[in-house]
Structure 1
Amino acid sequence: MPCRFVRPGASIGSAGSVARRAPTPLSMLALCAAAALTFQLSGCAVGPDYHRPSAAVPASFKEAPEGWKVAQPADIADRGAWWLIYDDAQLNALMDQLNTSNQTVAQYAAAYRQARALVGEARAAYFPVISGTFSGTRSYTPTRVANSSGGLSSGTINNNVSLGLDATWEPDLWGKVSRTVSSQEAGQQGAAADLANARLSAQATLAQTYFTLRSLDAQQKLLDDTVVAYQKSLQLTQNQYAQGVAGRADVIQAQTQLQSAQASAIDNGVARAQDEHAIAVLVGQPASTFSIPASPLTATPPTVPLAMPSALLERRPDIASAERKAASANEQIGVAIAAYFPTLTLSASGGFESSVMSQLLQLPSRFWTLGPSLAGTIFDAGLRKAQTEAARAAYDQQVATYRQTVLAAFQDVEDNLASQRILGQEIVVQQQAVESAQHALAIVTNEYKAGTTDFQNVLSAQATAFTAQQKLVSLGGQRMVSSVGLVKALGGGWDDSQMDRETGSVAAPTSASAASAPAVAAAAAQPQ
């Protein structure tokens, strides 16, 4: 059975020599405290010691951009307010609201405070439980003495007053308490990582929804411009028809095309309204009273510094949470194994008892008892064995979850790196396609005005130009969303050392102070 020394202390025999004294109630309290210090973690903690589970970590990111270099420490410094790299005042204001009002984050903040309280609850088992009692009774006992009338005379009145202290303590001989405390401490750190992950997820969702909304604003501007262009095209066909150059069918086709564009412009408002409502929920406001002014997307993704893949294990809160849960499960194995061994309980009581209140605290009225008890389970039909096997299986489950979380994290990074690279290339080609489509439209329109081509060619060129422009706007929005996804996949500037700095306050804790904004922007602006 593995056994590790936790903290040095005196032997059990040394406590027994102190117990042979005749203490007063005050000395009884001192005796219990001395015994607690003597036995505090004096034994061994049974069970396996925890080691971080191994996980497959690649040497480099496959989708890393060509010419990529390892980010310097200044590049990957704590960038809690990672959204500042996008230099968008509206987004910054929304993030401030989210950090103080998001209810999902508030739930995890409350869960963190609960986990922190459980650590204090577990640590309380290190110390004795001391209770005080005070009681007073008055009783009447009749005395059977015959009087002249043959009845009973008056009886005796008895008074009893008692004041006492009781103390019980179970020394942590086999490390059950220390294992429980370690398990709860790991749970507290895991809850802190869960809180950070919930906050990062909410922030990333807000940023992605915000950029999607801005992309829809750009689409709306394109649709409005297209409606104006189609109105001019309709006017052209009407003029051509009035001069007898074009047929009535050209006017009807131009009118149909204009009305379809107008319908698309109206339909675009549905998606924008839904995104706006989603943002309202994220920032903790009613959708009915929340609105964001329209502003077409013009931003381009900033360069995001990359660290070595091994650093991802320290910068992803979900990975840290999974690892802490594995540590907590490992400690529970020791708790289960400790049940095989007997438990030692030290108990003491003392105080004063008297029938006269004025004599209660005098030396002859004192009483005390002191004694240990040793208890162990002889037969439990395999209960402890089953509990130990269940604890080991729970640990194996958490290890598998940790390794799966690591694999998913690297997939997340690679997906967003690939998305950034491919979308960047696609936007360049799509921009060329837009220019070609616009040039072809200008040529066909002039030919139609000259009467050398029919209106069907104009309609086709207009549809091609609009589709190309719409695709370009959509790609711009996708690349911004992917950029936010990459920042989130890299941990958003979080570091596992922050697990011990979470506040868990009633309001959702903020990620970083506004004072870090210049440093964040400067670090993100440096090309990698």
Structure 2
Amino acid sequence: MRPRLEPLAVLLLLALQGCSLAPGYQVPTVELPAHYREQTSDGPWHPAQPADQLASQWWLLYQDPRLNDLQQRLLKANPDLAAALAHFDAAQAYASQLHAGLFPQISASGQSLRQRQSDHRPLRGGTQPSVYNSNTAGFSLSFDPDLWGRIRNQVAAGDAQAEASADDLAVARLSLQQQLAALYVQLNGLDAQRAILSQSLDDYAQALQLTRSRYQGQIASELDLTRAQSQLASAEAELDEVRGQRNLTEHAIGKLVGEPASQFQLPAATQALTLPGVPQQLPSALLQRRPDIAAAERRVFAANANIGVARAAWYPDFSLTGLLGGQTQGSGNLLAAGNRYWALGPLVNLPIFDGGRLSANERQAHAEFEEAAAHYRSQVLRAVREVEDNLGQLRDLRQEALDQQAAVNAAEHTQTLAMNSYQAGAVSYLEVVTAQTVALQAQRGLQALQTRELLASVGLVTALGGGWKAGA
């Protein structure tokens, strides 16, 4: 008795359907540091530990309700973020299209025609009418069993690209949030600069009034009077410059939150931002949650799956097709036995000669994988550099701010001594102008350092993908 081969063939097809020609995937290796090189006054950073949870509202570290309100408005109304969200939706829809290839495709068709055939049609029978009706209705089915994993690898690549698009959306969101936080820090710094200059203007105006009285009493020279006038005018010009910079910064914030610059206004800040402390234990594993790194890794996975797609093109492509329907010449039941038609069978497509196209496609897939892997490594190295940069900035700026505070204290004391000596007639007004100028520069320098500290803090938070676990 001949053995039955049908069960064996079915088992073989099922086994082949689980086949994939994509290489085994591994995340590209990058040597991450066990700890960061930069140190703080508390000591070195500790070795890497498991990653914390991403802080969804990392800007709350700065304890400013107005910044929180602006960030919420950005999430709701920023047009660039809306565009990134639409791009993500498109990637999701494309991935769903690829998933459809895993299932049988069934379609229905129908037509009712009145048509005439040519009198000179080849092989036309003598009894065939010239004009007749043709009614057709039917179903068609096609299914690719995907023996070599081509479709499954396309689906895997599409899913990975959709995940990368989700990470791109997170990158866009984090970047816009960083821009808004940085602009808000700069705006607060300009408000502080304006307050310092306004206070100096009051002091300079009083000094000018004193000098004018002394000049009228022939105690001070006209040179002292012109120096006081020049000093006041220079401070007013500096204040005008700060106002102009604040307007530009305010306009940029308005664009980020989706409002026209003509309508957007922010009152002057009355309270300085809180500089959040950096935890001593800052693991390098936090870098792995950066959305740009996650997106780069997903694209490496997609490129690896595309190698499987390119390899599968070398093998025979099997598909199953089926037709079922009915056809009449204008009358009769379409479903009657005599009017039915059907077809069922496999279709095999095997490449024989393509001029090197398949070989070139596979080389291209391998090259794109190497490109994606190199880009991933570059993103990781960039992330490490950004963290180190901002850690170093925070350390150096803190020490610089302490030294600058000592300079401010000394300059303010010198200013007081110079004014007292001038009123006593012991020195010229040049000494007062010099002391006041140095004191103003020292105060503005200290405030600029404080702004740079806050900007470095924002940079560190975003370099880590959104800060660290609250209470760390």
Give the alignment of 1:21-420 within 5 angstroms.
Answer: 42-65=17-40, 66-67=42-43, 76-137=52-113, 159-296=133-270, 298-305=272-279, 309-355=283-329, 357-420=331-394
- Which has the larger displacement, 118-127 or 128-137? 128-137
* Cα pair distance change 1:307/1:162, threshold 3 Å: farther
More displaced stretch, 423-432 vs 59-68: 59-68
1:517 corresponds in structure 2 to none
Would the alpha carbon gap of residues 443 and 103 (structure 1) be closer, same or farther in structure 2, given more than 3 Å must change? same
Q: CA contact under 8 A between 1:346 and 1:371: conserved in structure 2?
A: yes
Contact 1:431–1:472 (CA under 8 A) maintained in structure 2: yes
Q: CA deviation at 1:303?
A: 1.6
Give the counterpart letter for 1:230 in structure 2: Y
Q: State the Cα deviation string for residues 201-233 of structure 1 (Å, max 9, x = none).
A: 100110110010010000001111111111111
Q: Structure 1 CA distance, aligned partners of 2:93 and 2:235? A: 60
- Structure 1 gaps of 5+ residues are 1-9, 17-37, 142-154, 495-522
Partner of 1:451: 425
- Whichever residue aligns with residue 59 of structure 2, its letter is W
Sort the Cα spacing of 1:368 and 1:435 in 2 relative to 1 into closer, same or farther, 3 A.
same
Partner in structure 1 of residue 121 of structure 2: none
**Cα separation, partners in 2 of 1:13 and 1:271, compared to 1, 3 Å:** same
User: Separation in 2 of the partners of 1:225 and 1:387?
Assistant: 70
Any conservation in 2 of the 1:176–1:338 contact (CA below 8 Å)?
yes
Q: Which moved more, 1:64-73 or 1:443-452?
A: 64-73
Match of residue 125 from structure 2: none
Figure out how many residues of one structure are paired with residues of the other and give that number: 457
Counterpart contact for 2:193–2:447, Cα < 8 Å:
yes
**CA offset at residue 364 of structure 1?**
3.8
- 1:471-502 CA deviation, whole Å, 9 max, x = no partner? 011111111111111110111159xxxxxxxx
The alignment partner of 2:303 has SS state of helix
Does the 8 A contact of 1:346 with 1:372 survive in 2? yes
Q: Which moved more, 1:216-225 or 1:311-320?
A: 311-320
1:13 to 6, 9, 25: 9
Q: Is the 8 A contact 1:63 1:417 kept in 2?
A: yes
Q: In structure 1, how many angstroms separate the alpha carbons of the residues matched to 2:155 and 2:283?
A: 33
Alpha-carbon distance between aligned partners in 1 of 2:45 and 2:131, rounded to the nearest angstrom: 94
Structure 2 Cα separation of the partners of residues 260 and 435 of structure 1: 23
User: Is the Cα contact below 8 Å between 2:35 and 2:45 reproduced in 1?
Assistant: no
SS of 2:17 mapped into structure 1: coil
Amino acid at match of 1:293: P
Q: Percent identity?
A: 38
What is the deviation of 1:129? 2.2
Q: 1:11 to 1:434 in 2, by over 3 A?
A: farther
Deviation at 1:171, TM superposition (A): 1.9
Partners of 1:438 and 1:245 in 2: how far apart? 25
In the aligned structure 1, how far is the partner of 2:368 from the partner of 2:187? Answer: 44
Distance between the aligned counterparts of 1:356 and 1:240, measured in 2?
118
Q: Measure the CA separation in 2 of the matches of 1:157 and 1:400.
A: 68
Q: C-alpha separation between the residues in 1 aligned to 2:202 and 2:399?
A: 31
* CA distance in 1 between partners of 2:295 and 2:281 (Å): 20
Question: CA 1:374/1:307 → structure 2, altered by over 3 Å: closer, same or farther?
Answer: farther
Q: Supply the distance in 2 between the matched residues of 1:318 and 1:176 (Cα, whole angstroms).
A: 28
Which region of structure 1 is more displaced relative to structure 2, 102-111 or 198-207?
102-111
Determine if contact 2:51/2:285 at 8 Å carries over to the other structure: no
Cα 1:231–1:12, aligned 2, differ >3 Å: closer, same or farther? farther
- Please give the alpha-carbon distance, in whole angstroms, between the structure 2 residues aligned to 1:263 and 1:421: 34
TM-score of the superposition, structure 2-length normalised?
0.90
For 1:241 and 1:359, the matched residues in 2 are separated by: 119
C-alpha contact 1:217 1:297 (8 A) present in aligned 2: no
Q: Select between 174-183 and 365-374 the one with higher mean Cα deviation.
A: 365-374
Provide closer, same or farther for how the CA distance between residues 156 and 195 of structure 1 changes in structure 2, counting only shifts above 3 A: closer
Contact 2:103–2:143 (CA under 8 A) maintained in structure 1:
yes
Q: Report deviation, 1:313.
A: 3.8
TM-superposed CA distance for 1:244, in Å, is: 2.3
**Stretch of structure 1 that moved more, 127-136 or 54-63:** 127-136
Native 8 Å contact 2:174 2:466 kept in 1:
yes
Q: Tell me, in whole angstroms, the C-alpha distance in 2 between the residues paired with 1:15 and 1:357.
A: 46
Cα offset for 1:88? Answer: 0.8
Q: Contact between 1:119 and 1:181, CA under 8 Å: does it hold in 2?
A: yes
Q: Aligned partner of 1:13: which letter?
A: A
- Structure 1 residue 240 displacement after superposition: 2.1
CA RMSD of aligned residues (A): 2.7
Separation in 2 of the partners of 1:113 and 1:12?
A: 44
CA-CA distance at 1:40 after TM superposition: 10
Seen in structure 2, the aligned counterparts of structure 1 residues 158 and 263 have a Cα distance that, compared at 3 Å, is: closer
Shift of residue 47, structure 1, vs aligned partner: 2.6
Contact 2:390–2:459 (Cα < 8 Å) also in 1 = yes
User: How far apart are the structure 1 equivalents of 2:433 and 2:248?
Assistant: 32
8 Å contact kept, 1:11–1:39: no
